[in-house]
């Protein structure tokens, strides 16, 4: 699996994603500058967390208009796998690659804590190593994480299996208290219609080593790895 981690001005979880892919998964990974215009040769592109351009206009709004995002757009249109984490999720919605938007947390405060999310669709390249309704413990750390989409869009997302992660309690129930930001329908992450672009607010790259408190995030990266390997076998076969 050959991963690219995009570095926008103000990205700050770039090194965490890089570290996880290189040192934990032992896969190839490269930083990609925000001015880069080609993404040839990559299997997976990760948009990491952070505060791109300070998030001063809206979270992710300026980063969504940088040169590299045109390349990400082409990469996604040709079926490439794109994972947006936290601010990366915000960038993907601002770029129109994912539906909806991320609003201010209902607490009006930044929230950093462990949450539980349930995998709602385990048929994607991002989730296919997970079991049905598997519950993952991962941290969130964001101020603008409240997922919003208009009711008709939400209906479509649910109907098409595009809601990928939902905040739940430890037992897997999607209760209000489990939701750290007041998102619609406890949504924590969604995909595009084709299922090759996924964004989520929690940080799977921070849940990849036991010393950090959880290894639950690994299933996402293991799924991606398995999918990419399978694709290679297909190609060479």
Partner 1 sequence: MADVDNLRPEKAPKIWRKLGLKDFEYEMIVEQLGREPNPVELNMYSVMWSEHCSYKHSRSSLKLFPTGGPRVVQGPGENAGVVDIGDGYGAVFKIESHNHPSAIEPYQGAATGVGGILRDIYTMGAQPIAFLNSLRFGPPNNARSRYLIEGVVAGIGGYGNCVGIPTVGGEVYFEPCYRGNPLVNAMCVGVMPLKRLVLGQACGEGNLVVLAGARTGRDGIHGVTFASEELSDQSEEDRPAVQVGDPFLGKILIDATLEAVEKQLVVGVQDLGGAGLTCALTETASRAGTGLEIDLKMVPLREEGLEPFEILTSESQERMLFIVEPEKLEDLEKIFQHWQLPLSVLGQVSAGKMVTVRHHGEVVAEVPAESVAGGAPAYEPESREPEYIGKLSAFDLSALKPAGDPGQYLLSLLSSPDIASKEWAWQQYDYMVRTSTLEGPGGDAAVLRLRETGKALAVTVDGNSRYTYLDPYLGGMLAVAEATRNLSCCGAEPVGITDCLNFGNPEKPEMFWQFRQAVEGMAEACRVLEAPVVGGNVSFYNEVEDEAIYPTPVVGAVGLLENAKNYCKTGFVRNGDLIYLLGPCEVSFGGSQFLKELYGKVAGRPASIDLEMEKAVQALLRRLIADGLIVSAHDLAEGGLAVALAESCLAGGRGAAVTLASGLDSVLELFGEGPTRVLISLPPEASDRVLDLARKKRVRMSELGRVDGGDSLTVKCGNALAFKLGLDELKKAYEEVFSWIRT
Partner 2 sequence: MENSLQALGFAGVKGVRVGKYLELFLEAETREEAAARLKDMAERLLSNPVIEDYNYSLQEVKL
The residues assigned a catalytic role are: 86, 203, 205
Q: Does 121 bind partner 2 (CB under 8 A)?
A: no
CA 192 distance to own-chain centroid:
12
Report the run of H or E that residue 22 belongs to, with start and end: none
Report the run of H or E that residue 76 belongs to, with start and end: helix 67-77
- Among 101, 91, 99, CA closest to 191: 99
> What is the rounded CA–CA span in Å between residue 180 and residue 140?
8
Q: Which residue has the tokens 């896969």?
A: 27
Reading the block at residue 188, the tokens are 């924590």
List residues near partner 1 by CB under 8 A: 9-10, 12-13, 15-16, 19-20, 23, 49-51, 53-56, 107-113, 139, 141, 143, 203, 205-206, 208-209, 211-212
- Among 233, 205, 198, 28, CA closest to 126: 198
Nearer to partner 2 by Cβ, of 60 and 80: the residue is 60
Residue 61 interacting entry, from partner 2, partner 1, none, C-beta within 5 to 8 Å by type? partner 2
Smallest gap from residue 34 Cβ to partner 2 (A):
16
Residue 158 interacting entry, from partner 1, partner 2, none, C-beta within 5 to 8 Å by type? none
> What is the rounded CA–CA span in Å between residue 143 and residue 201?
10
Q: Does 57 bind partner 2 (CB under 8 A)?
A: yes
Residue 58 interacting entry, from partner 1, partner 2, none, C-beta within 5 to 8 Å by type? partner 2
Smallest gap from residue 101 Cβ to partner 2 (A):
4
> What is the rounded CA–CA span in Å between residue 146 and residue 179?
9
Nearer to partner 2 by Cβ, of 57 and 112: the residue is 57
Residues that bind partner 2 in the complex, under the rule CB under 8 A? 57-58, 61, 65, 93-94, 100-101, 103, 148-150
């Amino acid at each position: 699996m050959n991963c690219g981690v995009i570095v926008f001005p103000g990205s700050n979880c770039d090194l965490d994603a890089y570290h996880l892919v290189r040192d934990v998964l032992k896969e190839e990974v490269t930083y990609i500058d925000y001015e880069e215009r080609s993404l040839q040769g990559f299997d997976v592109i990760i948009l990491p967390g952070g505060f791109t351009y300070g998030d001063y206009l809206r979270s992710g709004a300026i980063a969504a208009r940088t040169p590299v995002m045109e390349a990400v757009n082409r990469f996604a249109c040709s079926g490439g796998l794109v994972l947006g984490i936290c601010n990366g999720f915000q960038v993907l919605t601002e770029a129109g690659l994912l539906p909806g938007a991320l609003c201010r947390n209902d607490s009006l405060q930044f929230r950093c804590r462990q949450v539980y999310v349930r995998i709602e669709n385990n048929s994607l390249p991002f989730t296919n190593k997970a079991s049905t309704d598997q519950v993952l413990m991962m941290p969130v750390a964001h101020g603008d994480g409240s997922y919003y989409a208009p009711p008709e869009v939400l209906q479509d997302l649910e109907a098409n299996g595009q809601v990928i992660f939902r905040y739940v309690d430890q037992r897997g129930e999607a209760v209000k208290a489990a939701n750290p930001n007041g998102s619609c329908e406890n949504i924590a992450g969604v995909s595009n219609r084709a299922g090759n672009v996924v964004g989520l607010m929690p940080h799977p790259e921070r849940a990849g080593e036991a010393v950090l408190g959880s290894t639950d995030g690994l299933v996402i990266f293991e799924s991606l790895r398995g999918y990419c390997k399978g694709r290679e076998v297909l190609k060479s076969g």
